[in-house]
Amino acid sequence: MTACVGTMSRMEPPQQTSLMQEKELMERRMLEEIKRRRDAGQDSWALDDFEIGRPLGRGKFGRVYLAREKSTKYPVALKMIFKNELVKHKMEQQLIREIEIQSHLKHENVLQMLTYFVDDRRVFLVLEYASKGELFRELNAQKHGRFEEPKCAKYIYQVASALQACHDCQVIHRDIKPENILISARGNIKIADFGWSVHDSSQTKKRKTMCGTLDYLAPEMVKNVEHTHLVDNWCVGILCYELLVGKPPFESKSSHETYQRILRAHIDFPPYVGTLARDLITKLLQVKPENRLSLKEVKVHPFIVKHWPLKSVDEAPKPAN
């Protein structure tokens, strides 16, 4: 599986650093406890292993709570899913696939699934807790409902890094949007919600299932033709536009009009969107998938390098000897 390198961060106040060190210690203890149970053949968890806190969110099939594992005191997000709702909507296999995919992905910008367990009525997913919540909420909290370029560049770099790790493991996310991206205590991206994800045995294998969110659908999905991991690259372009403007580029009053605008891929930029950002978005929002920037190219694009040099410099091509 794709491994990740620790995030390079700027200096933090001593108190904040201490809190982070305490959290990292609890995380190590939690991971050690998971490993201990597995090694002992006791990889069975129950609701009694957790102290349940406040609700974090509610979805179609269940709810998410802030919880704390009792022995390690480690805070987690506990996602509770009702089995009868899964059966009613014929989503059992989709949940199995989500668990299989997310539990094996290991990257600093992918929300970690620590473990899972079941009882008679429910399935519980034990997830990493991203304390700052959804990117969508942070975006809406901005003064003008949009981010300045430096923060956008940081977030797009991290999303591209996470998706590159997914693609390296032959996983296509297929539903990137601000609602499915969380923010950690350190202010870093954690892509989440792998419900529409799929695992392909090769990057060239094509899928035909239409899924995802309307405003983020790639043209090949709108046309209901085969698609590859490059649908995620399209989503990065849509996301970059939304983070800078406050809404997706092809948003319309009707689904039909949105479909038509996606297929034309004509992008109207407000005057405050800079030249470098326009270039990045335009090169991602190409109707032909093969013409889209790769995620590696996204990470070294001049827009990213200008605003997020701490990381992008590590991705730049090394000069020949």
User: Residue 202's pLDDT band (boundaries 50, 70, 90)?
Assistant: very low
List the domains of the chain with CATH numbers.
22-128 (3.30.200.20), 135-315 (1.10.510.10)
Q: Give the contacts of 94 (CB within 8 A, at least 6 positions apart).
A: 195, 196
Is 130 marked as a binding-site residue? Answer: yes
Quote the tokens at residue 236. 């990065």
Quote the tokens at residue 218. 């790639």
Query: Which range is most confident: 6-10, 119-123, 273-277, 316-320?
Result: 273-277
Is 92 marked as a binding-site residue? Answer: no
Q: How far apart are CA 37 and CA 56, in angstroms?
A: 27
User: Residue 260's pLDDT band (boundaries 50, 70, 90)?
Assistant: very high
The reported pLDDT for the residue numbered 204 is 44
Percent of the chain residues topping a pLDDT of 70: 84
What is the average pLDDT value for the chain, to the nearest integer?
A: 87
At 249 the three-state DSSP class reads coil
User: Residue 268's pLDDT band (boundaries 50, 70, 90)?
Assistant: very high
Find the catalytic residue in 39, 49, 175, 314: 175
Is 83 marked as a binding-site residue? Answer: yes
The reported pLDDT for the residue numbered 13 is 41
pLDDT tens per residue across span 40-85: 665 678 999 999 999 999 888 889 999 999 999 999 999 999 999 9
The model carries a pTM of 0.86
Q: How far apart are CA 213 and CA 238, in angstroms?
A: 11
Provide mean pLDDT across the span 25-40. Answer: 75
User: Residue 116's pLDDT band (boundaries 50, 70, 90)?
Assistant: very high
Is 60 marked as a binding-site residue? Answer: yes
Q: What is the DSSP string of 131-186?
A: TT-BHHHHHHHSTTSS--HHHHHHHHHHHHHHHHHHHHTTEE----SGGGEEE-TT
pLDDT tens per residue across span 285-301: 999 999 999 999 999 99
User: Residue 27's pLDDT band (boundaries 50, 70, 90)?
Assistant: confident
Quote the tokens at residue 66. 């802030």
The reported pLDDT for the residue numbered 34 is 75
Q: Is 39 a catalytic residue?
A: no
Quote the tokens at residue 106. 């290991």
Q: DSSP class of residue 207?
A: B
**Shortest CA distance to 166 belongs to which of 213, 101, 235, 218?**
101
